Amino acid sequence: MQSYQAADKRFQKGNKEFSKGNIDKAEKEFNESLKIMPQHADSCFMLAQIAYKKGDLELARSRIETAKENYYFIVKMKMNMEQVRILKMQEARDAGTYDERGTQGIDQRLSRPVTTVEEIPADYNYIHGNILFKLREFQQAHDLYVQAIETEPKHKDAYNNLINIYLMSKQYQKGLDYLKMADENDVKVNEKLKEALLKATGK
């Protein structure tokens, strides 16, 4: 747990640099995070994006696969950390060292449903799909975009890329089906892509 906390600090620093467009600084922080804890899934995920941006597709593939392999390990660790925090809070409450607001916080946490292992995030599958698309592994990319949408029905970019694959492969009806699904979920698909699909179907 201590390794995770130390690694996550470097990850957070890297995330800030990435959001500012400082890719090299971000890459350094994410790599430092992995030196502390090689299983840090989110650092691998971000390094996959950086490798993709730099055109190193095989490294990007390796990074995203590692991120997905380690994701559930990290989720379970976070669950354990939360349980430890609650136990410590309970001990403090029982010892009378928590104020009233703190006690209410404990009660609120204890009343929440037990956290279950969550699905792989939609963005993990979306980025994985982008990497495989660039590698011309279109069927695998297609399947990952579908998974991203199943996890997050409002994932705009996954809809766009999936519909583009159907347009490229002339599977127009499937493209229309996902266009309809996007509309039902209030997702605005790229207008030029939408027009190209409708033109191809004669609509």
pLDDT value at 184 more than 90: yes
- Residue range 156-173: average pLDDT? 97
User: Angle at the Cα of 68 (from 127 to 134), degrees rounded to 5?
Assistant: 30
Question: Which CATH number does 2-111 carry?
Answer: 1.25.40.10
Q: State the pLDDT confidence band at 114, using cuts at 50, 70 and 90.
A: very low
CA-wise closest residue to 177 among 189, 163, 165, 187: 163
**What whole-number distance in Å separates Cα of residue 122 and Cα of residue 190?**
19
**What whole-number distance in Å separates Cα of residue 160 and Cα of residue 168?**
12
More confident residue, 170 or 76: 170
Q: Quick one: 182 exposed, middle or buried, by C-beta within 10 A (0-12, 13-18, 19+)?
A: buried
Q: Quick one: 6 exposed, middle or buried, by C-beta within 10 A (0-12, 13-18, 19+)?
A: middle
More confident residue, 69 or 111: 69
Give ranges for CATH 1.25.40.10 in the chain.
2-111, 122-200
> Which region among 33-42, 50-59, 116-125, 161-170 has the lowest average model confidence (pLDDT)?
116-125
pLDDT value at 176 more than 90: yes
- Residue range 144-149: average pLDDT? 97
**What whole-number distance in Å separates Cα of residue 23 and Cα of residue 29?**
10
Residue 114's CB: how many other CB atoms inside 10 A?
Answer: 6
pLDDT at 75: 87
> Hunting for tokens 């583009």 — which residue is that?
164
| pTM confidence score | 0.82
**37 SS3 class:** coil
The number of angstroms, rounded, from the C-alpha of 81 to the middle of its chain's C-alpha atoms is: 21
- Give the CA distances from residue 17 to residues 14, 22, 46, 170, in Å, rounded to whole numbers and listed in that order: 5, 5, 11, 41
**What whole-number distance in Å separates Cα of residue 119 and Cα of residue 72?**
8
pLDDT at 24: 97
**What whole-number distance in Å separates Cα of residue 74 and Cα of residue 181?**
32
39-80 per-position pLDDT tens digit: 999 999 999 999 999 999 999 999 999 999 999 988 888 777
Q: Do residues 8 and 24 make contact, with C-beta atoms less than 8 angstroms apart?
A: no
More confident residue, 192 or 102: 192
pLDDT value at 197 more than 50: yes
pLDDT value at 115 more than 50: no
CATH superfamily, with its number, for domain 122-200 = Tetratricopeptide repeat domain (1.25.40.10)
